[in-house]
């Protein structure tokens, strides 16, 4: 195969879907403010409400529960607010898992002294017994757990977590930014109270997201109250082009259905099998638990992630050393540290993430390149130990 660019960093951001780009350009030509009552304003409002309906359908929520934001980080900040009520119980403290995105680990609007951390197992999933103990030791809590980890792809046992949280009179927030569009989500079947999603992970534009705030909750306080937009839950004129693109991207995802996810899983299996055939001593993190169908985080003896990412790039492949929000910073991954991974193994972790138009030829191209790259990046197996 001739040298080309292969994009395998979809967990950092997905390329815009053609449908999303077309919807965004069309919305840019509209003149009306969505809050205006004239014809131009109503046309803009219809685009927003159609997008809201698509997002609600994708997660089994009511359209009225979808609040548009500037992205997943803001959606998380909106969710993490003291004083939320569910069935009369008030959440006065926050529990977050040890592998959360930095926007959740920061604690939102909770004082630092009211934030606790729930440990995870060596497989990268929440330790349910440790969470149970935290819930029993104090007042009702708002618990924030991601649907699937952005680095390892490990899918969290949300239904079981919801059962524990609600039995302790708590509230459950789920950051679904990475899982949205890669696995099925039913907010009611999983008994989730708040759900964060983002547009650019599913093929929409950057700078748009949403918080699904279910009717089971009360006591919500917006970050931006002025203006009255989004039913007073998030002030400021809505980002019409971004929301239009978001809605179109979700519609395209719904049209693709389960077949697209199954295809990604098949390609990931080919990828991991091929890598391990060349480097049998490599580690694939969270391989013993359910993972996103598109995500592989691996490490090999003596490999340095920074060097590996550059080497892949020079060979025409975009990969990541982990979370894009932490790229360029030389420190151990908080996710791998929480999993108890040895520093010398964690420092070599490279993430490969696939998307809806990743091809078998691109996977084969990477595997062929790995045969030569591994000779430079990885300590030979006869030296191991």
Indicate which residues carry an active-site annotation. Answer: 325
CA–CA distance, 252 with 156 (Å, rounded to integer)? 26
Task: Say how far apart CA 376 and CA 385 lie, in whole Å.
Answer: 18
Helix ranges restricted to H, 60-199: 72-79, 102-105, 128-136, 158-167
CA pair distance 41, 49, nearest whole angstrom: 12
Nearest alpha carbon to residue 341 among 305, 310, 294, 292: 305
Q: How far is Cα 115 from Cα 113, in angstroms, rounded to an integer?
A: 6
Asked if 285 contacts 349 with a C-beta cutoff of 8 angstroms, the reply is yes
Integer-rounded Cα radius of gyration of the chain: 21
Long-range CB contacts (within 8 A, 24+) of 375-384: 376/311, 377/300, 377/302, 377/303, 377/304, 377/307, 377/308, 377/311, 378/279, 378/282, 378/300, 378/301, 378/302, 378/303, 379/300, 379/301, 379/302, 379/303, 381/279, 381/280, 381/281, 383/301, 384/281, 384/301
Say which residues have a Cβ less than 8 Å from residue 173's Cβ, sequence separation at least 6: 76, 79, 80, 142, 143, 144, 145, 192, 193, 194, 195, 196
Grouping H, G, I as helix, E, B as strand and the rest as coil, residue 118 is strand
């Amino acid at each position: 195969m001739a040298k080309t660019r292969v994009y395998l960093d979809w967990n950092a951001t997905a390329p815009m879907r053609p449908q999303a780009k077309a919807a965004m350009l069309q919305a840019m030509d509209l003149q009306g403010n969505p809050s205006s009552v004239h014809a131009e304003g109503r046309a803009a409002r219809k685009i927003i409400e159609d997008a809201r309906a698509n997002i609600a359908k994708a997660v089994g929520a009511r359209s009225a529960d979808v609040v548009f934001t500037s992205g997943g980080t803001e959606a998380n900040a909106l969710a993490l607010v003291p004083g939320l009520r569910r069935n009369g119980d008030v959440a006065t403290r926050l529990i977050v898992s040890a592998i959360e995105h930095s926007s959740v680990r920061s604690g939102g609007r909770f004082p630092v002294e009211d934030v606790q951390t729930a440990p995870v197992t060596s497989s990268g999933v929440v330790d349910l017994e440790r969470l149970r103990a935290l819930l029993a030791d104090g007042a009702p809590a708002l618990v924030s757990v991601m649907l699937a980890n952005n680095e390892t792809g490990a899918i969290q046992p949300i239904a079981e977590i919801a059962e524990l949280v609600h039995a302790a009179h708590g509230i459950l927030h789920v950051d679904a930014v990475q899982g949205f569009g890669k696995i099925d989500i039913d907010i009611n079947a999983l008994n989730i109270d708040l759900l964060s999603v983002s547009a650019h992970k599913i093929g929409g534009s950057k700078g748009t997201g949403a918080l699904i705030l279910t009717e089971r909750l009360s006591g919500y306080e917006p970050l931006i109250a002025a203006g009255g937009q989004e039913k007073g839950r998030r002030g400021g004129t809505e980002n019409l082009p971004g929301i239009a693109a978001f809605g179109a991207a979700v519609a395209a995802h719904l049209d693709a259905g389960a077949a697209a996810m199954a295809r990604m899983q098949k390609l990931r299996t080919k990828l991991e099998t091929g890598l391990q055939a060349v480097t049998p001593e490599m580690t694939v993190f969270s391989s013993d638990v359910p993972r996103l169908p598109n995500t592989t985080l691996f490490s090999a003896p003596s490999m340095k992630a920074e060097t590996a990412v550059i080497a892949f790039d020079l060979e025409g492949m975009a990969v990541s050393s982990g979370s894009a929000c932490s790229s360029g910073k030389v420190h151990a991954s908080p996710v791998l540290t929480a999993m108890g991974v040895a520093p010398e193994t964690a420092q070599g972790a490279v993430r490969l993430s696939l998307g809806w138009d990743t091809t078998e030829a691109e996977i084969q191209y990477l595997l062929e390149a790995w045969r030569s790259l591994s000779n430079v990046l990885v300590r030979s197996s006869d030296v191991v130990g």
